[in-house]
A and B are shown apart, each in its own frame.
Chain A
Amino acid sequence: GAVVSQHPSWVICKSGTSVKIECRSLDFQATTMFWYRQFPKQSLMLMATSNEGSKATYEQGVEKDKFLINHASLTLSTLTVTSAHPEDSSFYICSAKPTLRSYTFGSGTRLTVV
């Protein structure tokens, strides 16, 4: 089946540094990828939708200058958390749609900012 590979699975960084999270579609082309954020014991909240070759669409309240999204190819989308702070600590998950009616999720990235 369709697979989305997400790396790293976990990362610890110092406050003020930047962290990049990658999501790759391994056996299909993903013109669109979705980035979600999940706080402990909470649901997934859509942060942004990345489109190959164009600017990402951010949800209301998400700082686009802090969460930089790049979707330069049909198989790779990246989320960079810039100048990370402890409040950015969370679980980040990407997903893509191999077909119009199905989703495939990455395995998630646990970010801890110290």
Chain B
Amino acid sequence: AQTVTQSQPEMSVQEAETVTLSCTYDTSENNYYLFWYKQPPSRQMILVIRQEAYKQQNATENRFSVNFQKAAKSFSLKISDSQLGDTAMYFCAFMKMWDYGGSQGNLIFGKGTKLSVKP
């Protein structure tokens, strides 16, 4: 079974600074996807970034980037130039890649990190 661990329940950062959220996972699969989702106070789940395990290059989306270390099973999220709107819960999630003949994969979430951006 796959597990996702986020060891930082809460973090804070000053506006315009950089912050890194940690995530580790455990799986015996070789092909999978990793995600970071943001859940603001509205509780709408918003995709921040996605990484395919077969890609060595780290994914980036504007101010958001990941450090994907497949051998170490680590998937951290770096937020640069933090903004007040980045205040939210951040969830790391794992999905087994499509398994032909099997069922569509569901997301397995970590417990989340509550990020507060301070002015």
Indicate the size class of the contact surface on chain A.
20 to 34
Within 8 A of A (CB), among B11-32: none
Among candidates A34, A41, A108, residue contacting B107 with C-beta atoms closer than 8 Å: A34
Given A42-B111, A49-B103, A97-B104, the answer on whether A103 and B47 have CB atoms closer than 8 Å is yes
For residue B7, give the distance in angstroms from its CB to the closest CB of chain A: 14
Interface of A: prevailing SS: strand
Among A31, A97, A101, which residue has its beta carbon within 8 angstroms of that of B52? A101
Q: Indicate whether A32 sits within 8 Å of B104 (C-beta atoms), given known contacts A43-B91, A105-B44, A108-B43.
A: yes
Contacts of A107 in B (CB 8 A): 42-44
Q: Measuring CB to CB, which residues of chain A are less than 8 angstroms from any residue of chain B?
A: 31-32, 34, 38, 41-46, 49, 51, 57, 91, 93, 95, 97, 100-103, 105, 107-108
